[in-house]
């Protein structure tokens, strides 16, 4: 197995006036390629904070995050931006699609942000058809169901061929059935592409397909 992500003693504290609130307390973990893992825990336990630290959106107060052999938080801002664009795919609770772009354009936009611009449209259409969205490529987000919007968000996250997908409650706005199929799709893509996915969820029923579960208190 090849390790793609390593956390060593990750700690995150916020100063609240005189008090210090420690949200993440020495978290260490190792994630391998091909793994689909879940982070579970009650509201306020620090799940989103942990994903932000892994995704180089927030710096830890202490500890290190090693993604693909590189320490994410000793990089400069430019290197971090490039890392987020090329190596990480983000999926959030709401699909965060841009209302005035069609499904295909959503993918082309993230594709254009990186240097490798070959076969952009071809890659976008391949992904959309792979995720069962071929007939939806010229639709706007408001013309899609919630489940379809999340599938577009998955396609968009995969567009730059990331090594790691970070999904923060991707099923929270969906009903049980649609939520299940979104998770199944994420698992399938993780295995086929031999990447790693970390999903934050509240829902115990979503963890059956997981290779590991990390519980936060
Ligand atoms: N910028 C900040 N400044 C101070 N406290 C913060 C900040 N960001 C988050 N927190 C606190 O950190 C704790 C964890 O927040 P976080 O959003 O990570 O929780 P969560 O587990 O994702 O919760 P939920 O399930 O509701 O999304 C909360 O108590 C929150 O108030
Ligand atoms: Mg959260």
Nearest ligand to residue 61 Cα = 1
Cα–Cα distance list, 127 to 61, 145, 173, 174 (Å): 38, 18, 23, 22
User: How confident is the model over 137-165, as pLDDT tens digits?
Assistant: 999 999 999 999 999 999 999 999 999 99
Cβ neighbors of 88 (< 8 A, separation 6 or more) are 55, 56, 67, 162, 163, 164, 165, 166
> Residue 28 maps to which CATH number?
3.40.50.300
User: How confident is the model over 16-40, as pLDDT tens digits?
Assistant: 899 999 999 999 999 999 999 999 9
Q: Is 23 in the pocket of ligand 1 (CB under 6 A)?
A: yes
**Paired residues of 6 in beta bridges:** 30, 66
Average pLDDT over residues 7-15: 97
Q: Is 12 in the pocket of ligand 1 (CB under 6 A)?
A: no
Cβ 13 vs Cβ 22: under 8 Å:
yes
- Please tell me the distance between residue 52's alpha carbon and the centre of ligand 1 in angstroms: 11
User: How confident is the model over 167-200, as pLDDT tens digits?
Assistant: 999 998 888 888 888 899 999 999 999 999 999 9
Cβ 9 vs Cβ 26: under 8 Å:
yes
Average pLDDT over residues 197-207: 90
User: How confident is the model over 49-90, as pLDDT tens digits?
Assistant: 999 999 999 999 999 999 999 999 999 999 999 999 999 999
What is the Cα–Cα distance from 178 to 185, expressed in whole angstroms?
Answer: 11
Q: Is 45 in the pocket of ligand 1 (CB under 6 A)?
A: yes
User: How confident is the model over 97-116, as pLDDT tens digits?
Assistant: 999 999 999 999 999 988 66
Phi, psi for residue 205 in degrees, rounded to 5: -75, -10
What is the Cα–Cα distance from 172 to 158, expressed in whole angstroms?
Answer: 20
What is the Cα–Cα distance from 205 to 203, expressed in whole angstroms?
Answer: 5
Mutation test of ligand 1: which of 16, 27, 40, 45 has the most ligand atoms closer than 8 Å to its C-beta?
A: 45
Residue 206 structural domain: 3-215
Phi-psi region of 161 (alpha: psi -120 to 50; beta: other; left: phi over 0): left
Strands 36-40 and 3-16: unpaired
The number of domains in the chain is 1
pLDDT at 133 over 70: yes
Q: Token match 């790693």: residue?
A: 196
Supply the pLDDT for residue 209. 87
């Amino acid at each position: 197995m090849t390790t793609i992500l390593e956390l060593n003693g990750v700690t995150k504290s916020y100063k609240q006036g005189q008090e210090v609130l420690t949200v993440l307390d020495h978290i260490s973990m190792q994630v391998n390629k091909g793994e689909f893992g879940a982070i579970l825990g009650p509201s306020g336990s620090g799940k989103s904070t942990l994903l932000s630290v892994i995704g180089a959106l927030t710096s830890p107060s202490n500890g290190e995050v090693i993604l693909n052999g590189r320490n994410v938080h000793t990089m400069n801002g430019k290197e971090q931006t490039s890392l987020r664009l090329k190596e990480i795919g983000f999926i959030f609770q709401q699909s965060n699609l841009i209302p005035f772009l069609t499904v295909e354009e959503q993918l082309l936009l993230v594709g254009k942000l990186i240097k490798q611009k070959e076969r952009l449209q071809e890659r976008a259409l391949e992904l959309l058809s792979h995720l069962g969205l071929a007939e939806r490529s010229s639709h706007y987000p408001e013309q899609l169901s919630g489940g379809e919007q999340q599938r577009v968000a998955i396609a968009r996250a995969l567009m730059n061929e990331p090594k790691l997908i970070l999904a923060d409650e991707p099923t929270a706005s969906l009903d049980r059935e649609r939520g299940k199929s979104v998770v199944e799709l994420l698992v399938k893509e993780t295995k086929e592409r031999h990447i790693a996915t970390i999903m934050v969820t509240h829902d115990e029923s979503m963890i059956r397909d997981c290779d590991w579960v990390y519980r936060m208190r």
